[in-house]
Every structure is written in C-alpha cells, then in structure tokens.
A and B are shown apart, each in its own frame.
Chain A
Amino acid sequence: MFGAEKLALETKAYPTSQNGPVTIATFRFYLSALRLTYTDGSTYTEPNSFHLIDAEIDASQAFTLSTAPTKPLRSISFCVGVDSLTNTSGAHGGDLEPGRGMYWAWHSGYINAKLEGRSPACANPRKAFEFHIGGFQAPYRSLRPVTLVVPFGAGASLVIRADAARWLGQLKLADNSSVLVPGAAAMRVADGYAGMFSIGAGDEE
C-alpha cells in the first residue's frame, strides 16, 4: 500500500508532505513469528513462520494458515524481520534462501526489510534512497514486534495493510537517504516499519 492506494512500483510518484513526490522501487520485508489470539483466549502460533513479502511479487502477498482454527480473532501479532537464532544457524530454505536478495553475505545476517526509491528530497545526485535494514546482535537488533487488534466481526480472511507511506513518513530523506548496515541509524528506521501496519477489511485487496 501507499497511503490509501495499492502501491505501484516505479511507475508512480506519490506526493508526500515531508519528502516531496516519492517513487518506490523496492518494498520488501520479512514477516515472521505469526501468532493469532482468539476472543476465547486461545492462541495459534504458525510453525516455521517466515514470509518474505515483496511488493513486486503478488503471490508473496497472501498466504493461508491451513492449520489455524477458524474462530473469532482478538488480535494478531508477528515480527518484522528474522530472529537471531535463525540468523546464526546456517543455511535455510524457502523464503529464507540466501539467494532472495535479503541476505548480507560478508557480514552474515538477514536484511529484515528493504525500501528503495527516488525522491527530490534526497541529498545525492541520483536523488535515490536505499534502506536495507537488518542487524540481530545487541544493541542493534532491528527485529520489531507488531500487534494488531482485530476489529470485532472480522471474517476468516484478513487483510494486513503494510503502508510504505507510513514508513516513509518516519524518515527525513533530506537528512539521510541511505542506511545499509546494522547500527543506530538502522534501529531508527526499523521503528518506522514497526508502525506501518494496520488491519483492513476482509474484502479489500
């Protein structure tokens, strides 16, 4: 999403108050440790829960929890990023394959989220911004937990909106348009992606 619209990559410049017209080239993140809490107090934790969500790949934007009970939900929680055990325990498969462009080889670790694009606000000749946010070692853990309350009466199909505009709204591109390594700057950008989610209506898509 970008604000109220479905995000179009590359083709569209979105007006923003802080950063001028912004074009997004890459918007990608790991959603992990998904957990559902039902109104009756019970919970469901998705096993081996790692999803690479990529604005470029429609198929990555929906998944089914086939073993989750269908009961009224109270809340849904997950993390943005990959936990530290997974970061240190060797080669993984599926969405965690290190060939997905979300892995730093020379300084082992997953990139939790990527946001790239262009804006006239950027203080570089290409007017481009690049955020590759990762880091799993204290004090620079950029994994961020998110909990969303599910509105009363939501059905079995739920839409989580990830809004690039909200993330970008936390960033001042004129001051900093590139963060590519773990550290204090990455921690601040990570706070931005923690706040970009909301729950949409089931028919929205």
Chain B
Amino acid sequence: MKNSRIRFAGEEAVPPNTAFRLALLILAALSLAFTTFSDQPVLFARPAGWPKPSYDFSRNPQTAAGFRLGRMLFYDPALSRDGSISCASCHSPQSAFTHSDHRVSHGIEGRQGERNAPALVNLAWNTSFHWDGGVNNLEIQAVNPVTHPNEMDFTMDEMVDRLNASRAYRGRFFRAFADSAITGQRVLKALAQFTVSLQSYNAKYDKYLRHEAGGEMSEPELNGLRLFRQHCASCHQEPLFTNNTFANNGLLPDTLLRDRGRYRITAQPDDDYKFRVPTLRNIEFSAPYMHDGRFRYLRQTIQHYTSGTIVPSPTLAPQLRQPVTLSTAEQRDIMLFLFTLTDKEFLDDARFRYQPE
C-alpha cells in the first residue's frame, strides 16, 4: 500500500500536468487491487492549453492535509444545525456534484430552496458563483449554504464551536494549518481546497482534442461538435463550456419563484432574467437542468433552443433572437456530442468520495 502511494504535483520535478495524469493512471490500477480505499489527495493542475485560473491559490496554498480536511468537512452533516445535511446532500458525487432528481435543492427539515444546485466542477475558473453571480470568491461561497435557513440553517460561530469540540477535527486543522484553533476562515479555506480540486478534463472530448486513446469521436458526435460550435459555443465556450457571463436564454420566467437572476444583484434593468452561463461538462449526469431545474431530460434543453419556445424579452440574448432551426437528426447529434463531455475518470474518482476517516 505504501509503495503505491500516489505522488502529487509539486513533489517531483515534472510539470504538474504530467504528474496529475500519471496519478490517475496509477489510481485505476490501485482501485482494482483495493476497491474501497484511497486516501490520496488531488491537487489542482492546470490542463495544457487552458486559460489561467481566476482562483488565487497563493492565498490558500493547497496541501494534502488541507484537501483531506476539506473533503471531510464536505461530507460532514455536522455543518448543519440539526446534523442532518452535508454539502454532499445537495452536491453528490454520483451526479456530478449536483442534487439529482431535485428541481430545486432541499435543505434541513425538507425545506425547499429556490434554485437548482449547480455541478461543482472546474471552479477555479469561475469569475463568480451562484446562478446570479452574487458570490465573488469560492472561499466565501460556503457561508451561504451554512447560514441559509433553507439549507443548513446554522451560524458560522456555532459551526466553529461544534468543530472545536471535536478532538479529531482539531488534529486535522493542525495538520492543515499548523494550528489546531478552528476558525471560520480555516473551515472556508479547507472546503475550498477540496472543491477547487474537483476538476474535469478527461472526457472523450478532451481526449479527442489531445489526440489520445479513447478520444475517437464518431461522425454524428463530430457533427454535433460542429453544430455546437456554430450555435452554442458563443456562451458555452470551450474548454470550460461557459464564458462566465450572464445571459437570458429565453426561458419562460417562473411565476412562482419570480427569480430575476442577475437583476437581483445589480438592480440593472439590463440584467433582468439573466443567469450565469453554466458549464456543460458532465451534463449527462447533472439533471435536472436550468436554474430552477425545470427540465428533467437533456433533450428538453436542446428542444428549448430549437423548437421555437424561446420567449422574446428586452434582455433576450441577441444570438437567440433568430430561431435556431435544427433537424431532429441534428438535435440528436448535439446531444451525442454533449455526452462526450462526460468524464468517467472524474465521476468515478474515489478520492473525491466520502472516506471513512
């Protein structure tokens, strides 16, 4: 077991990228031999050719102990007032770190939230967080779920007191921060060390671009990619499949929740009903779709763009003012292409799963 330990970037003098990919390979072998256990850290690595991340790692240097602590916190319901809900309750690894089967997420005592939990993936590149972009930094994001009455309904101070009462946590905070005092800042930094490492860049699509084994695309998939680049990529920009902006993609406003998206943050009429362009990576597994989870099936999202249901409004995106007309076969090809964004190595990576500590 000791010998098969995976080294992480920074331990040896190879570019981080090579080290990271190497790590995944070894893991595959490892998980055959020991199916249940893997305590290896995953540290951030910037894939070749990807833009510079927005997250400032210098303010929160990643360590193996920090990653493990963050993972432990992520899966720990002690972060909620009544000890019933963890981050993973709404961001489950089985469904690309979203809340599967829930249009809008549920918090403690079954209280219903107002929005669909987004997939947690490639967060280092997000320039803002939440569907309305109201949150400006990954570290600070977690204050929201912890303190939101419909989510974990706790206070930061009470959460910190609860964790401070645990010897196991004090030991882990010591290992991560060289100090066993648990503070809100450290809880947030540790969580971010875990969530920022949820990186997905080994889908078939990525392998296709890198000319690697496993990257052979079929004719329909390639046609889907071509159509996608023509009709969708202006917003769902490669390689992140989001351009980090806000857009009104013509959904009929929900009369019940009256969610006006970005407008809620800026109070600018120009931002009415605009939402953050979501990534489409692992979209096959992150149903339901859209900010309010209105679509259960991926084909419905494609039909939204192609079957004349786009709702005109003053803030509707200019690209969508002319109807996108695609034949049934073309729609199918786009869908097949979207499936090539599924990254099994990421989704099945045991290091992101709950580990009995």
Contact = CB atoms under 8 A, between A and B. Distances in A.
Contacts, number: 68
B212 interface: no
A98 B140 contact: yes
Interface string B97-139: 0000000000000000000000000000000001000111111
B157 A99 contact: yes
Interface in B119-178: 130, 134-140, 143-144, 147-148, 155-157, 160
Most chain A Cβ neighbours within 10 Å, of B139, B157, B160, B184 = B184
Interface residues of A, number: 18
A109 B156 CA distance: 16
Most chain A Cβ neighbours within 10 Å, of B130, B143, B183, B267 = B143
Interface residues of B, number: 28
A129 B157 CA distance: 26
A91 interface: yes
A4 interface: no
B56 A99 contact: no
B137 to A, nearest CB: 4
Contacts of B148: 105
A183 to B, nearest CB: 7
Contacts of A126: none
B59 interface: yes
Nearest to A97: B184
Most chain B Cβ neighbours within 10 Å, of A90, A96, A97, A183 = A90
A93 B186 CA distance: 8
B160 A99 contact: yes
A103 B142 CA distance: 13
Nearest to A108: B136
B188 interface: yes
Interface string A70-98: 00000000000000000111111100111
A131 B130 CA distance: 26
A88 B160 contact: no
Contact of A103 (B56, B134, B143): B143
B60 interface: yes
A106 interface: yes
B183 A97 contact: yes
Given A88-B136, A91-B140, A97 B130 contact: no
Interface in A101-122: 103, 105-109
B144 A105 contact: yes
Contacts of A99: 143, 155-157, 160, 184
B188 A91 contact: yes
Contact of A87 (B59, B60, B136, B183): B136
Nearest to B147: A105
B18 interface: no
Contact of B135 (A92, A93, A96, A108): A108
A73 to B, nearest CB: 33
Given A91-B188, A98-B184, A99-B160, A183 B267 contact: yes
B28 interface: no
A91 B184 contact: yes
B178 to A, nearest CB: 14
25 contacts: A88-B137, A89-B59, A90-B56, A90-B138, A90-B140, A90-B188, A90-B189, A91-B140, A91-B189, A91-B192, A93-B184, A93-B185, A96-B185, A98-B143, A98-B184, A98-B185, A99-B155, A99-B184, A103-B140, A105-B135, A105-B140, A106-B135, A108-B135, A108-B136, A183-B267
Nearest 3 pairs of A and B residues by beta carbon: A99-B156, A91-B188, A90-B139
Interface of B: 56, 59-60, 130, 134-140, 143-144, 147-148, 155-157, 160, 183-186, 188-189, 192, 265, 267
